[in-house]
Structure 1
Amino acid sequence: MIRAILSVLAFFSVVSTACAEDSALRRLNTGDESRGWEAVGRLELGGKGFCTGTLIAPDLVLTAAHCLFEPSTGQRVDFGSIEFLAGLRNGRAEAYRRVRRVVIHPSYRYEGDVTAERVRNDLALLQLLRPVQNTIVTPFETAEQADRGESVSVVSYALDRAAAPSLQNSCNVLQRTKGVLVTSCDVNFGSSGAPIFRVRNGQAQVVSVVSAKAEMGGKRVALGAQLDGAVELLKNQLVSGVGVTQDFMPRIKGAVPVTGRFPGGAKSVKP
């Protein structure tokens, strides 16, 4: 039986050490070590914490929905204050992007205890203000599921390893139940939203997003949302505008057209 210990893994509470059951976490300290993983980044939550996110298109970041809520109030965070730092490593990122629009899985509910329903719907897409288009950062493809017993990998930031991503190259899918992927992957605060990968034909594909950690049979496990058709659902909502929150533009005050000149010289308008 799965017993949820913590409802969220974001950087809002005390440290709790998770114990990996397979390969150990390895910090990606150098450019060579992190090569190929640059599309995983740290998601800064307005100076109040961070989660992990993954580029799945030049302008789309996949993460956990609960990262977008304030734990103390249950209110949504100010999306205009969120910044995605692609491939952040030791103070430098490959790209820095603010968020233009956000869509949260329509069945996700932040309040309440950790349940299978909450975990399986714990998904959100962030549309960036500008696409990440360079030769270093390559978005990952997604796949709908991984099989029980399959070896997977996870790349994440966390409270005790926030300055650079860490890779666990091999952990196992222990169960698939009610849309939840139960794995032996090593996660901690800040790992929320981290991608869980399977590798097929040499290509890493995102099959799940870390939502919570729990205990199963006395061992620590990571709970993730199976993607199933959720990513396509969220993409379609972005296209249609259904359920989409756009917070960036309303935050800009006093904006004026820049097609002409101001009497007395140039002026600038800041958000």
Structure 2
Amino acid sequence: MRGVLVWLALLAQPALGWDGNLRPLETGVVAGRWAAVGRIDLGSRGFCSGTLIAPDVVLTAAHCLFDKATGEPYRASELTFLAGWRDGRAEADRAGAMILPHPGYRPGLEEGSMAHRDQIGSDLGLIKLGEPILLPSITPAATGSFPRGGDRVEIVSYARDRSEAASMQDACAVLGTEGRMVVLDCVTDFGASGAPVFRDTAYGSELVSVISAGAEVNGRPVTIAVPVEGLLDDLMAELDRAWRAAAPGARRASVQSGGMGAGGAKFLKAGEGP
């Protein structure tokens, strides 16, 4: 994957979007399977994609938890998770009560720099919901092991110009991995940040990584995702500790790990975001 690393390090012009095999999940029957995937509204400042992985926890990209205009983390209460959002209606909607970006993620690094590239592997974040989602129609997504080159995967996301219903890309492949970066041959757009990447198994679909950024290899647009294996268990444990430690009156405040700097969105594309 040397070509990917060179491009991420020396990026001067962002990649253009391309929808590829994208298809909207327009009917209730089809969309119902993916009801754990939802849109995360960032106040009035845009949206990201996210996935319910426990009744009261949503997994997304760490950069989605920061306001790119101010470089500060959002207040948890500014974030709303709309599970299964489709045509103006959510299967369930919940406000955030606490956020936790991965401690290795630092917003504000120069896009295309080596430091920026090196931290992509920690671009994961969690949102603790104010109330759990306990509906039989919404089952939290199961998570799985590290993706491997050649794996066939599916992406379910919301994005620019398709914010009113989730869309599926189900003919994607893992081109390869480098450290904690997974390179996919599918292409995503703004709003798809934080979207889940699923792999089918004999026991059902498992969430194996999260969309972080767009890139280009030899003139070909690709997507960079972050594997959940090796990071998510520790992040969930830290969220549980922070939640238990917070006083009831303070639980709606954001939690920001040490080492965070100022910054904004890190999706490597031109236009409005995240």
TM-score normalised by structure 1 residue count = 0.83
Name the residue aligned to 1:182.
183
Which amino acid is the alignment partner of residue 162 of structure 2? R
Question: Structure 1 residues 249 and 177, CA, compared in 2 at 3 Å: closer, same or farther?
Answer: closer
TM-score normalised by structure 2 residue count = 0.82
Q: Secondary structure of 1:141's partner?
A: coil
Name the residue aligned to 2:217.
216
Q: What is the CA–CA distance in structure 1 between the aligned matches of 2:142 and 2:130, rounded to whole Å?
A: 21
Matches within 5 A, 1:1-80: 1-2=3-4, 3-4=7-8, 16-20=16-20, 24-80=21-77
Q: Is the 8 A contact 2:39 2:50 kept in 1?
A: yes
Give aligned pairs, total. 240
Q: What is the CA–CA distance in structure 1 between the aligned matches of 2:202 and 2:26, rounded to whole Å?
A: 26
Name the residue aligned to 1:136.
137
Structure 1 runs not aligned, ≥5 long: 8-14, 252-271
What RMSD over aligned residues (CA atoms) do the two structures have, in Å? 2.4
Q: Secondary structure of 2:134's partner?
A: coil
Greater gyration radius: 1
Name the residue aligned to 1:258.
none
CA offsets 1:36-83 (integer angstroms, 9 cap, x no match) = 100000000011100000011111100000011122221112221100
Q: Secondary structure of 2:234's partner?
A: helix
Which amino acid is the alignment partner of residue 18 of structure 1? W
Q: What is the CA–CA distance in structure 1 between the aligned matches of 2:253 and 2:155, rounded to whole Å?
A: 36
Q: Secondary structure of 1:110's partner?
A: coil
Name the residue aligned to 1:230.
231
Q: Secondary structure of 1:189's partner?
A: coil
Q: What is the CA–CA distance in structure 2 between the aligned matches of 1:70 and 1:247, rounded to whole Å?
A: 21
Name the residue aligned to 1:203.
204
Name the residue aligned to 1:83.
80
Question: Structure 1 residues 198 and 70, CA, compared in 2 at 3 Å: closer, same or farther?
Answer: same
Q: What is the CA–CA distance in structure 1 between the aligned matches of 2:49 and 2:87, rounded to whole Å?
A: 16
Q: What is the CA–CA distance in structure 1 between the aligned matches of 2:188 and 2:141, rounded to whole Å?
A: 20
1 or 2, which has the higher strand percentage?
Answer: 1
Q: Secondary structure of 1:144's partner?
A: coil
Q: Secondary structure of 1:239's partner?
A: helix
1 or 2, which has the higher helix percentage?
Answer: 2
Name the residue aligned to 2:120.
119
Q: Secondary structure of 2:71's partner?
A: coil
Q: What is the CA–CA distance in structure 2 between the aligned matches of 1:44 and 1:247, rounded to whole Å?
A: 22
Q: Is the 8 A contact 1:157 1:165 kept in 2?
A: yes
How far residue 202 of structure 1 moved from its aligned partner, in angstroms, is 4.7
Q: Secondary structure of 2:118's partner?
A: helix
CA offsets 1:164-221 (integer angstroms, 9 cap, x no match) = 0000112000011010000012310000000001011151111110000000121100
Q: Secondary structure of 1:142's partner?
A: coil
Q: Is the 8 A contact 1:80 1:248 kept in 2?
A: no
Q: Is the 8 A contact 1:102 1:124 kept in 2?
A: yes
Q: What is the CA–CA distance in structure 1 between the aligned matches of 2:74 and 2:173, rounded to whole Å?
A: 33
Q: What is the CA–CA distance in structure 2 between the aligned matches of 1:83 and 1:53, rounded to whole Å?
A: 11
Question: Structure 1 residues 218 and 241, CA, compared in 2 at 3 Å: closer, same or farther?
Answer: same
Which amino acid is the alignment partner of residue 93 of structure 1? A
How far residue 18 of structure 1 moved from its aligned partner, in angstroms, is 2.1
